[in-house]
Amino acid sequence: MTSRVDEIAGLLDGGRMDERESNLTAPRDLEEPGVLVQAILERRRAAAHLIDFARFMDPGYVALPVHELIARKLEDIEAGRLRRLAIFIPPASGKSRLASELFPAWFFGRNPGLEFIETSYDYDLAAGFGRNVRNLLKDPRYQLVFPSVGLSTDSTAMNEWKTNAEGEYKAEGVGGGLIGFHAHVAVIDDPFKNYAAASSLKEREDKWDWYTGVLLNRLRPYKGGPGAVILIMQRWHDDDLGGRVEKLNASGEEKWDIITLPSIAEPGDPLGRKPGEALLPEGPNARTVEELRQIQARHPAMFMALHQQKPVADEGDMFKKGWLRPYDADQLPERLTVYITTDYAMSRGSGDYTVVVAAGVCPDGHVWILDLWRQQCDMLDGVETTIQWMQKHRAAKALLEKTSMARAYGPLLSKRKVEEGVWTLVEEVSVIGRGQKQSAERAGVLAGAMQMGYFHAPAGASWFGDLEYELIRFPNGSNDDQVDALTLLALKLNSLRRLGARHEDLGPQPVKPVGMTFAQAMEINRRHRVGLRFRPRAIVVPEPPVSVLDAA
């Protein structure tokens, strides 16, 4: 039977079978060549692929799509296909276990004579990673996958150790010294400890100076190109190390492969999730969308940074952080005149969003955003939502931008109003002479009103963080649809303030169509012939009661 086992192993191993492999199978397994074949295949897969290695070393390891994506990118680093990789991912997602423990061990199995540097915000944390990687190399299961790779006997400290092939591992805190050490691959795992550290300009400058002046100078050429850097972190601040890497990549100064993995999926998700789906729906670190929304309601700005990887900058080019004032439900004024304002995208998948906003204007002119709808959809969905919100929010008026696009959606909106019996007044707002989209000239009136504290939004709204993020990024961000919708409201704010000061919410008003007799039609024709102007009366709306009008 032994010769049969050797024959099977030889076929799988290119004509050679390591003695350790033949001895690490139970006697019962030797009677089952199929079992041995499966065992050897598992070892071969573990040597070739990081996720298979993770499962082999830890049979309880749960690999979700997010981990499989990260593993493929790390494999590209090891193969020399990537030189700069940035992965922005929420906390408690299993990133450090995969990128800072399993990956270095797998890397040394395939490259035992190379050098590796591991860093994090704290020396002790980095040294802990080093201890765990070292222990993986000492694990008997590791020897099944990489039988010729082990630890050197004269260098085994948890933060500094060598392989038996003169490969070298060094763990250090970000900002620490690396003199005397080099790396073919370096990992930066969470360079900032917390928000306070990331908010400090000095801390950010120190980390950047260390990265550019220390770490990059420790890299050795690797597989036909420069040494590789892996940055894996949760975002804290718009100008943190991840933010600066994004700017390097955008300017073309340094090419990075940047993977952004939000807790709640957005359009264009790198994992192929539908918008609104959770990153970790199962597994030991599972978080449901409901739980994530609760976290978001407690601190929208922090949620946008840590979970959605969209930190809001301290200072935008036009809008500043804090200008959009959050309010609690009990702060909402009782007397509001509600308006709908929109910005339509023409087609689904165009990259633009359709935005519908419901906002109330109180008598003193402050704008209280009540609700906001933002979707990548076609014009039909946007019109339907506008009709629904006219009814839902008992809107006094809907504001639409007066452009050539209005010729497309204007008749459709009018038709749906008649079909649904909705008689909310629609006003097209002219933007002629106010600059192009994404221009300071057009959005300046909105910025001015916000600076003066006239715009408020519900603090716990799921869309609050996205809105603030777009405002701060304007006009250099990728989207401006929410800014455009609110700008229409700001352009009409003075007239809306006067109207809001005179009228209370009267609710839906009864309307009645006015018919026309034959005699009236003939009289209209006669008036036209003699040049008299005729104003058609299609709808009669009763005047509001005198009691709700201010004295003129």
Q: What is the pLDDT of residues 137-184, one digit of tens each?
A: 999 999 999 999 999 988 778 999 999 999 999 999 999 999 999 999
* Tally of domains in the chain: 3
Q: Say yes or no to pLDDT of 497 above 90.
A: no
pLDDT tier for residue 512 given thresholds of 50, 70 and 90: very low
One-letter amino acid at 114 equals: L
| Structural tokens at position 494 | 């003075």
Residue that is last in its domain, among 193, 226, 253: 253
Do the domain assignments include residue 301?
Answer: no
pLDDT-above-70 percentage for the chain: 81
pLDDT tier for residue 533 given thresholds of 50, 70 and 90: low
On whether both 446 and 541 belong to a single domain, the answer is no
Q: Say yes or no to pLDDT of 522 above 80.
A: no
On whether both 133 and 193 belong to a single domain, the answer is yes
What CATH number does the domain containing 340 carry? Answer: 3.30.420.240
Count of other CB atoms within 10 angstroms of residue 105: 25
Evaluated on CA atoms 281, 286, 290, 295, the torsion sign reads negative
- Residue 115 pairs in a beta bridge with 168
Are 161 and 117 a contacting pair, CB within 8 Å?
A: no
Spatial separation of the C-alpha atoms in residues 63 and 54, rounded to whole Å = 9
Residue that is last in its domain, among 196, 226, 253: 253
On whether both 396 and 518 belong to a single domain, the answer is no
So what's the pLDDT on residue 543? 44
208 to 211, 241, 507: CA distances (angstroms): 5, 7, 58
Q: Say yes or no to pLDDT of 495 above 80.
A: no
CA 177 to chain CA centroid, nearest Å:
34
Among 84, 124, 118, CA closest to 252: 84
On whether both 22 and 144 belong to a single domain, the answer is yes
| Structural tokens at position 228 | 């590789």
So what's the pLDDT on residue 492? 85
Q: Say yes or no to pLDDT of 59 above 70.
A: yes
So what's the pLDDT on residue 5? 43
On whether both 163 and 52 belong to a single domain, the answer is yes
Domain that holds residue 521: 512-548
Spatial separation of the C-alpha atoms in residues 233 and 242, rounded to whole Å = 8
* Residue labelled with tokens 């600066």: 244
Q: Say yes or no to pLDDT of 290 above 70.
A: yes
User: How much is the average pLDDT of 501-530?
Assistant: 55
CB neighbour burial string for 452-464, b if at least 16 within 10 angstroms, e if fewer: eebbbbbbbbbbb
Are 37 and 8 a contacting pair, CB within 8 Å?
A: yes
Q: Which of 262-271, 321-330, 395-404, 482-491 has the lowest mean pLDDT?
A: 395-404
On whether both 421 and 496 belong to a single domain, the answer is yes
User: How much is the average pLDDT of 17-21?
Assistant: 43
What CATH number does the domain containing 123 carry? Answer: 3.40.50
Do the domain assignments include residue 271?
Answer: no
One-letter amino acid at 91 equals: P
On whether both 370 and 517 belong to a single domain, the answer is no
On whether both 518 and 451 belong to a single domain, the answer is no
Do the domain assignments include residue 26?
Answer: yes
Are 361 and 500 a contacting pair, CB within 8 Å?
A: yes
Do the domain assignments include residue 299?
Answer: no
On whether both 529 and 424 belong to a single domain, the answer is no
Do the domain assignments include residue 223?
Answer: yes
User: How much is the average pLDDT of 228-248?
Assistant: 94
Q: Say yes or no to pLDDT of 548 above 60.
A: no
pLDDT tier for residue 24 given thresholds of 50, 70 and 90: very low
So what's the pLDDT on residue 27? 41
| Structural tokens at position 315 | 């200072």
User: How much is the average pLDDT of 256-275?
Assistant: 95
Do the domain assignments include residue 332?
Answer: yes
Do the domain assignments include residue 288?
Answer: no
On whether both 162 and 50 belong to a single domain, the answer is yes
pLDDT-above-90 percentage for the chain: 55
Do the domain assignments include residue 291?
Answer: no
On whether both 337 and 454 belong to a single domain, the answer is yes
On whether both 523 and 427 belong to a single domain, the answer is no
Q: Say yes or no to pLDDT of 508 above 70.
A: no
Q: Say yes or no to pLDDT of 62 above 90.
A: yes
So what's the pLDDT on residue 532? 65
So what's the pLDDT on residue 155? 77
